Amino acid sequence: MTEETPGFEEKPDVPSGATDDDAEPKAASEEAAPAGDADQTAGLTAQLDQVRTALAERTADLQRLQAEYQNYRRRVERDRVTVKEIASANLLTELLPVLDDVGRAREHGELVGGFKSVADSLESIVTKLGLQQFGEEGEPFDPTIHEALMHSYAPDVTETTCVAILQPGYRFGERTIRPARVAVAEPQPGATPAAAKEEKADDEESGGATEV
């Protein structure tokens, strides 16, 4: 059994020819290694943040361009529809005199034979294109869709009323391409409207029936 000599400390093996000064730089480099790894990680994190920022900017640019393109497509489609409606309205406006002639021929009983077939086809086509005729006798006068060519007074009306349709009106979609040309009648000044007279007579009859 070997006895340890008091006061003697064992030292790590040192290569032959090496001194204590040679071992100290090695320990210092081993301690500096973790600091170098931290700097490298920080650099990579910064680069990653830059890449993320650039990606977010490019994504925002792409979304903005996509929104602008969608708005452009909507404007083009809206303009295309508007141009088509204007062209159709102009064409239908040019056909209105022909439709008026067809209407007069029908009123006089002259719409017969081949002429009737042509007229029916024409009216069918313009109806499919969206042309709508309006204007009827007895309807209230509306200056936004009626054009009064004749005026008179009548005791049997309670408001300004279309009493004759001189030319029918036509609309295309929401666009009025020709107002209905009408003769209107207003209530006779100072005269009691017929409806008011009837109502007054009914009141008198009902009142007389309840009297004892």
Residue located via tokens 């020709």 = 178
Q: Report the pLDDT value the prediction gives residue 208, as an integer from 0 to 100.
A: 47
Q: Burial letters for 92-116: b for 16+ Cβ neighbours within 10 Å, e otherwise? A: beebbeebeebbeeeeeeebeeeee
- What are residue 134's DSSP bridge partners? 169
Q: Are strands 131-134 and 175-178 parallel, antiparallel or unpaired?
A: unpaired
Q: Report the pLDDT value the prediction gives residue 183, as an integer from 0 to 100.
A: 96
Residue 138 has pLDDT above 50, yes or no: yes
Average pLDDT (66-89) is 91
Question: Taking the complete model, does pTM exceed 0.95, yes or no?
Answer: no
| 102-131 confidence digits (pLDDT tens) | 999 998 998 888 889 999 999 999 999 999
Tokens of 181: 């040309």
Q: Report the pLDDT value the prediction gives residue 44, as an integer from 0 to 100.
A: 85
Residues 6+ apart with CB under 8 A from 48: none
Q: What is the 3-state secondary structure (H, E, C) of the chain?
A: CCCCCCCCCCCCCCCCCCCHHHHHHHHHHHHHHHHHHHHHHHHHHHHHHHHHHHHHHHHHHHHHHHHHHHHHHHHHHHHHHHHHHHHHHHHHHHHHHHHHHHHHHHHCCCCCHHHHHHHHHHHHHHHHCCEEEECCCCCECCCCCEEEEEEEEECCCCCCEEEEEEECEEEECCEEEECEEEEEEEECCCCCCHHHHHHHHHHHHHHHHHCC
The angle that helices 20-107 and 113-128 make with each other, rounded to 10 degrees, is 150
| 98-110 confidence digits (pLDDT tens) | 999 999 999 899 8
Residues 6+ apart with CB under 8 A from 133: 168, 169, 170
Q: Residue 165: which of 148, 179, 182, 141 has the closest Cα?
A: 182
Q: Report the pLDDT value the prediction gives residue 102, as an integer from 0 to 100.
A: 94
| 148-187 confidence digits (pLDDT tens) | 999 999 988 999 999 999 999 999 988 999 999 999 999 9
% of the chain exceeding 90 in pLDDT: 53
Average pLDDT (86-106) is 93
Average pLDDT (79-99) is 92
Q: Which residue has the higher pLDDT, 197 or 40?
A: 40
Per the prediction, the chain carries an average pLDDT of 81
Q: Report the pLDDT value the prediction gives residue 46, as an integer from 0 to 100.
A: 84
Residue 197 has pLDDT above 80, yes or no: no
Q: Which residue has the higher pLDDT, 194 or 37?
A: 37
| 23-72 confidence digits (pLDDT tens) | 454 544 555 555 667 778 888 888 888 889 999 999 999 999 999 999 99
Please answer whether residues 193 and 160 qualify as being in contact, where contact means their C-beta atoms are separated by less than 8 angstroms: no
